[in-house]
């Protein structure tokens, strides 16, 4: 069988959790392949809401196995807290979640390093979630990291202490107060909890499932415009958030990738620093923030808001080989009389339709305006109920990007979703 990939096409926070939950009913296996607890995938079922940071969003589907892949970095403390909340509402996480032994561990000192590094940047802050993600990936690529499977070895505590001491040495370059033993006991207790799960050789586990005929849904975190290689560097995350990251983060071959679902909001948001060409600083921007509840699921920070950016969207579609678009939060635009879409840029006085290399370039969006639909979309159950002005907006996006919009989300609940034929 094949691997289908769901990923964000903007700067994260596109609504991946809801869509993975909706799609997971068709997949016996759901897998996270990169990122860590900087993810905040929000799910809503009637009166219940839940935010997942490390556990794949298929965990609420009783027949789905959920893999935390080797490309993920895992904080045992956050993982335990998340799982205990799930267990408290009756979700048997130990039956539904397996963890790749090659996934790297976030140590308490990784979080301290993250905070110290961000504080030292002053006005040049990247906007880190301070979860220790970056320092953990640095240890991974520097071949110093600790992995989930290492917790099973007799000398694990010794290896932990060695890495901790390395971090303490690095912290000497910062003017930053900290407690080197902060959260250490809680972390070690959480390690024991994590060891009660099925720890697997993730690459063999995933490929065995494929050979047995199971289709896998690979769940991305963050967004394509935050990819470490192709995002707005250095204002990016520390992992490969594009489709190719699914192969690296799960140990599956490129030829196994089939469908690629690209998720985008009907407008744009971004958390943290970095370029955002269509950012709004007026009443429309604040209206988007309030109506869309645009505050970070992980950090609680207000998100920056702006109109849809087709230059960035087409770039992300190209990078990922997207086969189907999924448009989120369409209902947030219901009360706008005029809706704008960026179709090009003026970059340093020159018109262009590509994302510039220079992160610090002076970029002014070129807009096309659309008449708003001024109708509540949230109760629509069928495409035929959607107003002409809205469908005109959708068809324009499809034409410009060259990929069909196969799913339209009209609210946070599972049921507020229209799947187009």
Between strands 65-68 and 97-100, the pairing is parallel
Active-site hit among 4, 13, 139, 331: 13
DSSP 379: T
**Over 70: is that where the pLDDT of 398 sits?**
yes
Active-site hit among 21, 41, 75, 139: 41
Provide the whole-model pTM: 0.92
Cis peptide before 12 (omega within 30 of 0): no
Measured between its terminal Cα atoms, the distance across the chain in Å is 23
Residue 242 CB neighbours (<10 A) = 27
**Over 90: is that where the pLDDT of 13 sits?**
no
Element (H, E) at 67: strand 65-68
In terms of average pLDDT, the best of 25-29, 58-62, 155-159, 176-180 is: 155-159
pLDDT band at residue 280, thresholds of 50, 70 and 90? very high
CA gap 211, 296 in Å, rounded:
39
Residue 380 CB neighbours (<10 A) = 20
pLDDT, tens digit (0-9, with 9 covering 90-100), for 44-85: 666 677 788 899 988 988 889 999 999 999 999 999 999 999
Q: Mark 304-318 as b/e (b = at least 16 C-beta within 10 Å).
A: bbbbbbbbbbbbbbe
**Over 80: is that where the pLDDT of 39 sits?**
no
**Over 80: is that where the pLDDT of 126 sits?**
no
CA gap 301, 278 in Å, rounded:
19
The pLDDT assigned to 127 comes to 64
Token representation of residue 35 = 């990122």
CA gap 127, 32 in Å, rounded:
23
Q: Of 276, 322, 224, 312, which is closest to residue 12 (Cα–Cα)?
A: 224
pLDDT, tens digit (0-9, with 9 covering 90-100), for 314-351: 999 999 999 999 999 999 999 999 999 999 999 988 99
Q: Which residue has the higher pLDDT, 23 or 276?
A: 276
CA gap 144, 170 in Å, rounded:
13
CA gap 292, 228 in Å, rounded:
27
* 265-273 mean pLDDT: 93
Say whether 328 sits in a helix, a strand or coil: strand
The reply to whether 13 belongs to the active site is: yes
* 149-153 mean pLDDT: 98
Residue 351: phi and psi, rounded to 5, are -75, 135
pLDDT, tens digit (0-9, with 9 covering 90-100), for 296-309: 766 678 999 999 99
pLDDT, tens digit (0-9, with 9 covering 90-100), for 205-243: 999 999 999 999 999 988 999 999 999 999 999 999 999
Mean pLDDT rounded to a whole number for the chain: 93
- Alpha helices by DSSP H, 142-183: 156-171
* 169-198 mean pLDDT: 94
Flag the least confident range among 53-57, 107-111, 189-193, 330-334: 53-57
The pLDDT assigned to 44 comes to 66
């Amino acid at each position: 069988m094949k691997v289908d990939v769901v990923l964000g096409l903007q700067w994260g926070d596109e609504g991946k959790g809801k869509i993975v939950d909706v799609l997971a009913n068709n997949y016996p296996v759901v897998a996270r392949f990169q990122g860590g607890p900087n993810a905040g995938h929000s799910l809503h079922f009637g009166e219940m809401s839940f935010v997942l940071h490390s556990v794949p969003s298929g965990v609420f589907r009783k027949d789905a196995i959920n893999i935390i892949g080797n490309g993920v970095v895992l904080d045992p403390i956050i993982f335990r807290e998340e799982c205990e909340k799930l267990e408290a509402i009756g979700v048997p996480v130990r039956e539904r979640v397996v963890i790749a032994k090659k996934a790297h561990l976030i140590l308490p000192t990784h979080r301290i390093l993250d905070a110290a590094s961000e504080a030292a940047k002053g006005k040049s802050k990247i906007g880190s979630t301070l979860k220790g993600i970056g320092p953990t990936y640095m240890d991974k690529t520097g071949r110093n990291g600790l992995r989930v499977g290492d917790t099973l070895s007799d000398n694990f505590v010794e290896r932990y202490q060695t890495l901790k001491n390395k971090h303490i040495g690095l912290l000497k370059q910062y003017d930053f107060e900290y407690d080197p033993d902060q959260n250490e006991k809680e972390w070690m207790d959480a390690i024991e909890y994590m060891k009660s799960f099925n720890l697997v050789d993730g690459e063999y586990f995933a490929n065995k499932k494929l050979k047995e005929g199971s289709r896998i849904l690979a769940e991305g975190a963050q967004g394509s415009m935050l990819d470490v290689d192709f995002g707005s560097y250095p204002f990016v995350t520390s992992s490969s958030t594009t489709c190719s990251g699914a192969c690296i983060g799960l140990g599956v071959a490129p030829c196994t990738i089939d469908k690629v679902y690209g998720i985008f909001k009907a407008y744009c948001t971004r958390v943290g620093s970095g370029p955002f060409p269509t950012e709004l600083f007026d009443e429309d921007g604040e209206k988007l923030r309030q109506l869309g509840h645009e505050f970070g699921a992980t950090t609680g920070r207000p998100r920056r808001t702006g109109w849809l950016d087709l230059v960035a969207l087409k770039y992300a579609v190209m990078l990922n080989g997207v086969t189907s678009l999924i448009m989120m939060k369409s209902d947030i635009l219901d009360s706008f009389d005029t809706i704008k879409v960026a179709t090009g840029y003026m970059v340093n006085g020159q018109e262009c339709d590509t994302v510039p290399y220079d992160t610090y370039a002076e970029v002014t969006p070129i807009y096309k305006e659309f008449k708003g639909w001024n109708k509540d979309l949230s109760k629509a159950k069928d495409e035929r109920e959607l107003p002409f002005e809205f469908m005109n907006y959708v068809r324009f996006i499809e034409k410009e990007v060259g990929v069909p919009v196969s799913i339209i989300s009209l609210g946070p609940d599972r049921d507020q979703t229209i799947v187009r034929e």
